[in-house]
Structure 1
Amino acid sequence: MSEFDTNPFADTASENPFNDPSVTQVTKSNIEPVDQYNPFSAQPSDGLAAHTTSPAVLQPSTEPSPQVTAAAAQANLLRQQEELERKAAELDRREHELQSRGPTGKENNWPPLPKFFPIKPCFYQDFSEEIPPECQRVCKMMYYLWMFNCVTLFLNLLACLAFFTTASSNGVDFGLSILWLILFAPCSFLCWYRPVYKAFRTDSSFSFFLFFFVFFCQVVIFIIQSIGIPHWGNSGWLSAFTIISEHRAVGIIMIIVAILFTLCAVMSVILLKMVHSMYRRTGASFQKAQQEFSQGVFTSKTFQTAAAGTASSAAQGAFQANN
């Protein structure tokens, strides 16, 4: 009867499976249940939290792509090209300014042309600034002689035209008169007026010698023009006297031109003596002219370039001959 006295529902330690030591150890551990686990706690608990890791975060790449690099390089090249073009334009502008100013470093003012004219002045001329006071009067007279010569050559063209109307055989004189006007007007300015202007300005012996040589030839030309040899394109005394008996008006015009040519010859002789007397007072000499010429030649860029090319050609020829 003792077996029936026991309670079948009694909780005995030996028959309770949860009383197993391994189970009780797990239930008594410090690991929080899943429903009570806080992943945002400041100090994660031991156990499960110890095995958790922070989630992986993708960091953006700092290296630019090839397209961006190529675009930046192209933009840099364009910027450099624009800068070079700007500097080249500035250099061209300065070069044009220096060319317009001439070797004196001042803006050219002769011939006095309007600003809208396509041809710009080629020379700088200022008697009061560049010519010494004792030489200004003679230098101005040389300038007036050049202008008087140009006017005479133009009137000679008109006289030869009138002479051509009297006979067709006189057309040679008219054609040559056009040639003398085109040739002598600019050449006289460049060949004897500018040298004497430079000689007074810089006291250059070489410029004085160049002026004396060319101006002596000019004096001879004035004398020939005043004589008026027929068919030489000059309305001188001989041509005027040959036509005045048949055509008085044409003869009078040609006599006026002959008088002007004679005045040019007389004035040129007087001015030549005046310039020579001033030249003697400056202490110039032929030796100084030679030195100035040699210095001007050796310092010339054209001469230096030609000499360098000649030396290079000679060196190459010698090298090829040795080989």
Structure 2
Amino acid sequence: MSGFDNNPFAEPVDVNPFQDPSVTQVTNTSADGIGEYNPFTAGALDGHRTVPLSATSQPAVLQTTVEPSPQASVASGQAELLRQQAELERKAAELERKEQELRDRDAARGKENNWPPLPKFLPIKPCFYQDFNEEIPVEYQRVCKMMYYLWMYHSVTLFLNLLACLVYFTVSTQNGVDFGLSILWFILFTPVAFVCWYRPVYKAFKSDSSFSFFFFFFIFSFQVIVYIIQSVGIPGWGNRC
């Protein structure tokens, strides 16, 4: 009958569920425990002692490579160039000194003419100096020697032509003109060929002279024409070989 004891027309009573004695007891106990605990107190730290970092290991250090600055690189390059330039200048000065010593030695000694190679007892001395290994560059020595051999072949041919004309003259006196001209050709063309086209080409290879090359080609062209005429063997021209 308790349900009928309440007055349904009375003011409602506010009921706070959190005011229940069991709930308030639990909340008060939790708050008191939290408020009393301080993790930074001495008692709290006794069971959680920390070891200093310096006592266990050293701090990690990052080793970085130091790159030279652009100014330092430029200065280093300039110093290297100056060193190389000084080395080249030193070598050039040494080479110039040796060349000067050779020139002084040659001037003091003097170059004696050695061509034609005549005996010492003759009063006639050589007229030219000739040395392929000393005066002609290595790359031109072979060609220059070939021109020298060509001049020698030309001289020998003229001499054989003289002997052939002499034989014809001994057989018939009517061939005296050929014999006389053959002597003239040998005496005239042998030294003239040496002076007019062999010596110019020798000097051209020696000093790399354009004028000497031009003079050689001009005279040698005329000599080739003479070779052709002599090879035909025109009667009365002193050609029998």
**Among 185, 191, 194, which residue is 2:199 paired with?**
194
Please say if 1:217 is aligned against 2:226: no
Q: Which deviations, in whole Å up to 9, do the C-alpha atoms of 1:256-288 show, x marking residues without a partner?
A: x3xxxxxxxxxxxxxxxxxxxxxxxxxxxxxxx
Any residues of structure 2 matched to 1:151-170 within 5 Å, and which? 151-170=156-175
- The reply to whether residue 174 of structure 1 matches residue 179 of structure 2 is yes
Q: Indicate the residue corresponding to 2:117 in structure 1.
A: 112
Aligned partners of 1:110, 1:232: CA distance in 2, in Å? 31
Structure 2 match to 1:144? 149
1:133 correspondence with 2:143: no
Q: TM-score, normalization: structure 1?
A: 0.40
Counterpart in 2 of 1:185? 190
Q: CA RMSD in A?
A: 1.6
**Aligned counterparts of 1:113 and 1:147: Cα–Cα separation in 2:** 16
* In structure 1, C-alpha distance between the alignment counterparts of 2:119 and 2:163, rounded to whole Å: 28
1:168 Cα deviation (Å)?
2.0
User: In structure 2, how many angstroms separate the alpha carbons of the residues matched to 1:170 and 1:114?
Assistant: 36
Structure 2 CA distance for aligned equivalents of residues 107 and 161 of structure 1: 38
- 1:233 match: secondary structure: coil
Aligned to 1:204: 209
The 3-state SS of whatever aligns with 2:149 is: helix
Partner Cα separation in structure 2 for residue 177 and residue 200 of structure 1? 32
- State TM-score, norm by structure 2: 0.54
> Hey, what does 2:60 align to over in structure 1?
none
Alpha-carbon shift at residue 167 of structure 1 (Å)? 2.3
Deviation at 1:151, TM superposition (A): 1.0
Whichever of the two has the greater Rg, that structure is 2
Q: CA deviation at 1:234?
A: 0.7
Letter in 2 for 1:163: Y
- Which stretches of structure 1, 4 residues or more, deviate above 4 A after TM superposition? none
Q: What SS does the aligned partner of 1:171 have?
A: helix
Q: Unmatched 5+ residue regions in structure 1? A: 1-100, 236-256, 258-323
1:166 positional shift: 2.9
1:123 matched to 2:117: no
Question: CA–CA distance in 1 between the matches of 2:174 and 2:114?
Answer: 44
> What is the alpha-carbon distance in structure 2 between the residues aligned to residue 116 and residue 177 of structure 1?
30
- How many equivalent pairs are there? 134
For the residues of structure 2 that align with 1:223 and 1:138, how far apart are their CA atoms?
23
Percent identity, aligned pairs only, is 75
